[in-house]
Amino acid sequence: MNCPKCQQHAMDPESLHGVSYERCPHCQGMFYEGPVLQKVIAEGIGSRDSLAFSVQSDLMDPITAHCFRCARDMTPVMMQGVRIDRCDKCQGVFLDQGEVASLQFAR
């Protein structure tokens, strides 16, 4: 399954602190199941994301994400002041590099 944003690189499955997600090795964006992301934010579970500035993240932000599970465009939504991409069908979410850390910092 290719990255919802750069669409040229396969997503790598990862797990940290018992939380499973997929990460793009190129743009460092992450795909979470909707309820999993809520748990990561609410419980402050560590992730491999960082608040460090990323040129790659800024380049990816305006690109429309495409859900690799449902084969449809994802909808940009605001969550705690952070723009993320959500699939209206499967409720999966894609976050550009730094967005998970931003959501955790904002809580």
Q: Which residue has 């979410």 as its token pair?
A: 93
Start-end of H helices in the chain: 34-43, 55-60, 99-106
How many other CB atoms are there within 10 angstroms of residue 12's CB atom? 11
Model confidence pLDDT, tens digit, residues 28-57:
889 998 888 888 888 877 666 766 555 566
Using pLDDT thresholds of 50, 70 and 90, give the confidence band for residue 104. Answer: confident
- Does the pTM of the predicted model rise above 0.85? yes
φ, ψ at 75 (rounded to 5°): -100, 130
> What are the tokens at 70?
């449902």
